Structure 1
């Protein structure tokens, strides 16, 4: 056993150790907060830069009036909006359109009201309902006009078949929902099967799981001001 003096000194030593440990912990917390604050500022700056990147850019997304694929509109549009683009939605009617998963969207305009010159990109959204545009003259003309006028043209899921039928995928790499790959091949495209494919000003994607990646590819192309065929 220690002496009375030794035993009396132990609490004092313990307090000293506790104070030093607390000081060390506070120092670590300060370093963490400083680093995190720096990261937050960097993230905020990066977000502001991204938001400014598509300021003034206009995009029109064309959806089926019934059974468009919800994510392919909503998630792709969100990526474009987050980057600062202005996004209009068009369909065969101005009455509320319904997605395969139940989303309801009121289109801003009909296909007849689209002036290609007003937009930097024309995007066709998939879903089973997109078949209404496979032989729709206005839809096919819009795809051709957009491409011929130097716009970015995008399509996802089964919608790349619209581009194929419009004749703008010949000699191009493209992807789509696998069930429509034959249409792409029959119209001269090179089918890759990738989630997202970009060949010049044409960007295609294979379905809803690729919607955000598709949106980011569109943002990248629009930010770069792609002008090559």
Structure 2
């Protein structure tokens, strides 16, 4: 079974964390919440779910994980400015491992410079940023491009989860 990091800070879109997290866990994979600091409480922007960071980004070792999932909402903005988060995502990408982001999640991919030459989708508000980062932007429910899986909004979660589970299988 895979060991999967969920990158999280407060302000994430509740369902974009809860649904993939539960699906990956229910499929038998090990799930680890990686936050800005170990033990940090991460609250969803709608207040329906809350998680505690199992690891801080500075403790996250890319070689110990098989995949990284980045829920959207406001959390990616806080994550993308953290050097340790960016180091971790870059290393996971260099190892060719799965990186999945939904909604604003690709903001972290932009900062980690992992979109160049790949196809991706995202929340429409960051579409231009994704294009400027070198991605072939596609307005589709889910886009799989090499090791990346991206989706647009909570409506696309079923397709997002399906492709993540297929990559982890």
| 2:16 aligned residue | 72
Question: Are the equivalent residues in 2 in contact too, given 1:164–1:189 (CA < 8 A)?
Answer: no
| 2:63 aligned residue | 117
Question: Are the equivalent residues in 2 in contact too, given 1:77–1:215 (CA < 8 A)?
Answer: no
Structure 2 Cα separation of the partners of residues 150 and 104 of structure 1: 30
Structure 2 Cα separation of the partners of residues 77 and 222 of structure 1: 13
| 1:88 aligned residue | 32
| 2:134 aligned residue | 188
Question: Are the equivalent residues in 2 in contact too, given 1:80–1:216 (CA < 8 A)?
Answer: no
Check if 1:57 corresponds to 2:12: no
Question: Are the equivalent residues in 2 in contact too, given 1:153–1:203 (CA < 8 A)?
Answer: yes
TM-score, normalization: structure 1?
0.70
User: Which string of whole-angstrom CA distances, capped at 9 and with x for unpartnered residues, describes residues 103-152 of structure 1?
Assistant: 11112111111111111101112111321123322222111100101211
- Runs of 4 or more, structure 1, over 4 Å off, are none
Gaps of 5+ in 2: none
Count of matched residue positions in the alignment of Structure 1 and Structure 2: 167
Structure 2 Cα separation of the partners of residues 179 and 165 of structure 1: 16
| 2:42 aligned residue | 97
Instruction: Using CA pairs under 8 Å that are at least 6 residues apart, name the structure with larger relative contact order, 1 or 2.
Output: 2
Structure 2 Cα separation of the partners of residues 137 and 114 of structure 1: 12
Larger strand share, 1 or 2: 2
| 2:116 aligned residue | 170
Q: CA RMSD in A?
A: 1.2
Gaps of 5+ in 1: 1-55, 224-229
Larger helix share, 1 or 2: 1
Higher gyration radius (CA)? 1
What's the secondary structure of 1:67's corresponding residue?
A: coil
